[in-house]
């Protein structure tokens, strides 16, 4: 229980107010507490209850930052009292001088007790286990620690709160590289001594994000990245969307070796329906061409593309063999035709017209009627599960999910591309202009390199799909806050609802333990 409350308020290093009162805990003061603090039962018997003190204390604190030595201990008592009085927990900002001292002077004192630190720094106020005196000693200690923290680039509250997490980071001396970073949305770049960009990242707060690499970020390659970094450059953006798009463009342009996306996007693949031959078939290709074929994608890898092709072929009997089709059967039917899995013209028994009808059905399903593909796949998955062939059912689900995801993304991107020029307005972002799904803005780096959107093509290219997805996802997530100012053509989804084949629990949620 609380027996005394003491607080002192500072602004700009100057004391502007104090708060002090004894508190009646509703019971006798134990002898050991009287020995420690000098507070007796007689002293608190006429003092106000904590429920009477809380309104004045909360008004005194207001929206200030609470500082304490082992501040979590004090806040635990405060929140317990708030809870008992029917009030909500205090959830404001806090700073712990104990954690700061352990970070800044861990080798200079035998321990980090408030009394020890007060003697070490020869503070004007010495703690004596009375609330106000201890609060004033803590304030003096904070001001001493702030002077030492400034050597590590601590310039604001967020830096101060993050400082204890840095601990014994081997690259802590490079925190000076973050001193000029603003607290704004933007893109940052780690650069080595040769001027090579090692890593590109985005942030809603540039300063906080870059400093987090020295504290909370425990990824395996971060230590190596920081060892090689000699400079941190940045570009301030108007809003997070601009930062995300600029990040994508720079990664594609510079291909930094510490960015995973720089290695992955060239490996994107397409599922191609080869409409330029007599008997079209599905194939997996790395690049799209203007050859009249139908392309679905790009998707993240050839493995995913193979799953999509398998899902389509399991519903529509497109030919699977790659041998040349002639007027007479030379090599005989392929295995897929022999088991009835496809209408393969390699036997010479399938006419061009009848096969073209199959191709038209495939295009109709891929472009306008995806349920013709997804519903049979779901039926097959359920049938296999009912037969307890669970591994086969899981394979069907994986392929169906890959197809559904690719179709959904294709429809999503086609909708914003086909809208042409689009102008939207929203709170905090101002007016944003899109040209066929891409930001119309361009950035000029201080090195003189123009960062511009890639060239628009009829088929979504591997180099543009990441930016298009950023914009499409942003439009979906922010639609409730955006106002459409102008659009060349109607903005609509061709087929918004698709089965995603995710596993959903049908069991009721059990309450309690």
Report d(CA 110, CA 150) in Å as an integer: 23
User: What is the SS3 assignment for 465-499?
Assistant: HHHHHHHHHHHHHHCCCCEEEEECCCCCCCCCCCC
Asked if 24 and 45 touch (Cβ cutoff 8 Å), the reply is yes
Helical residues (DSSP H) of 177-321, grouped into ranges: 206-212, 222-228, 240-254, 260-264, 302-313
Read out DSSP for 70-98?
Answer: THHHHHHHHHHHHHHTTPPPP-S-EEEHH
Q: Which residues contact 323 (CB under 8 A, 6 or more apart)?
A: 331, 334, 346
| CB-CB neighbours of 149 under 10 Å | 18
Q: Tokens for 99, please give them.
A: 């954690």
Q: Tokens for 413, please give them.
A: 């991107």
Q: Which residues contact 199 (CB under 8 A, 6 or more apart)?
A: 189, 190, 225, 256, 258, 259
Asked if 149 and 104 touch (Cβ cutoff 8 Å), the reply is yes
Q: Residue 16 phi/psi, 5° resolution?
A: -120, 0
Asked if 137 and 126 touch (Cβ cutoff 8 Å), the reply is yes
Q: Residue 286 phi/psi, 5° resolution?
A: -90, -20
Among 199, 194, 197, 244, CA closest to 217: 199
Q: Tokens for 205, please give them.
A: 């707060």
Report d(CA 45, CA 40) in Å as an integer: 9
Residues noted as catalytic: 129
- How far out from the chain centre does Cα 484 lie? 26
């Amino acid at each position: 229980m609380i027996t005394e409350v003491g607080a002192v308020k500072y602004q700009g290093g100057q004391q502007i107010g104090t708060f002090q009162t004894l508190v009646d805990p509703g019971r006798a003061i134990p002898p050991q507490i009287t020995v420690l603090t000098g507070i007796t039962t007689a002293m608190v018997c006429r003092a106000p209850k904590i429920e009477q003190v809380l309104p004045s204390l909360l008004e005194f604190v207001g929206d200030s930052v609470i500082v304490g030595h082992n501040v979590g201990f004090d806040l635990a008592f405060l929140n317990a009292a708030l809870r008992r009085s029917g009030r909500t927990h205090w959830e404001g900002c806090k700073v712990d001088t104990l954690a700061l001292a352990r970070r800044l002077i861990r080798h200079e004192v035998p321990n980090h007790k408030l009394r020890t630190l007060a003697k070490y720094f020869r503070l004007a106020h010495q703690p004596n286990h009375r609330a106000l005196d201890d609060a004033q000693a803590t304030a003096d200690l904070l001001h001493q620690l702030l002077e030492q923290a400034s050597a590590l680039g601590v310039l604001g509250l967020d830096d101060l709160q993050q400082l204890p997490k840095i601990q014994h980071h081997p690259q802590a001396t490079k925190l000076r590289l973050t001193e000029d970073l603003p607290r704004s949305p933007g893109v940052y770049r780690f650069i080595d001594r040769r001027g090579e960009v090692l890593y590109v990242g985005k942030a809603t707060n540039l300063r906080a994000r870059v400093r987090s690499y020295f504290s909370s970020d425990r990824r395996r390659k971060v230590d190596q990245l920081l060892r090689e970094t000699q400079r941190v450059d940045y570009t301030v953006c108007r809003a997070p969307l601009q930062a995300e798009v600029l990040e994508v463009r720079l990664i594609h342009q510079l291909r930094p070796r510490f960015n995973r996306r720089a290695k992955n996007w060239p490996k994107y693949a397409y599922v191609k329906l080869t409409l330029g031959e007599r008997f079209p078939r599905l194939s997996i290709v790395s690049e799209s061409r203007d050859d009249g074929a139908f392309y679905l994608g790009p998707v993240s890898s050839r493995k995913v593309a193979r799953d999509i092709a398998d899902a389509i072929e399991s519903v529509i009997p497109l030919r699977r063999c790659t041998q040349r089709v002639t007027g007479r059967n030379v090599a005989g039917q392929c295995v897929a035709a022999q088991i009835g899995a496809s209408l393969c013209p390699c036997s010479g028994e399938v006419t061009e017209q009848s096969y073209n009808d199959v191709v038209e059905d495939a295009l109709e399903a891929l472009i306008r009627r995806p349920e013709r593909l997804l519903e049979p796949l779901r039926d097959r998955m359920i049938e296999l599960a009912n037969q307890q062939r669970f591994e086969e059912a899981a394979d069907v689900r994986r392929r169906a999910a890959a197809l559904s995801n690719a179709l959904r993304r294709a429809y999503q991107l086609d909708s914003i591309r086909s809208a042409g020029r689009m102008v939207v307005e929203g709170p905090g972002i101002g007016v944003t202009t899109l040209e066929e799904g891409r930001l119309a803005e361009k950035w000029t780096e201080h090195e003189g390199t123009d960062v511009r959107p890639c060239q628009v093509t009829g088929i979504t290219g591997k180099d543009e799909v990441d930016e298009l997805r950023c914009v499409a996802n942003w439009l979906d997530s922010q639609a409730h806050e955006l106002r459409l100012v102008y659009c060349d053509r109607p903005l609509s989804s061709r087929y918004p609802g698709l089965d995603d084949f995710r596993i959903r629990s049908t069991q009721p949620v059990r309450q309690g333990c």
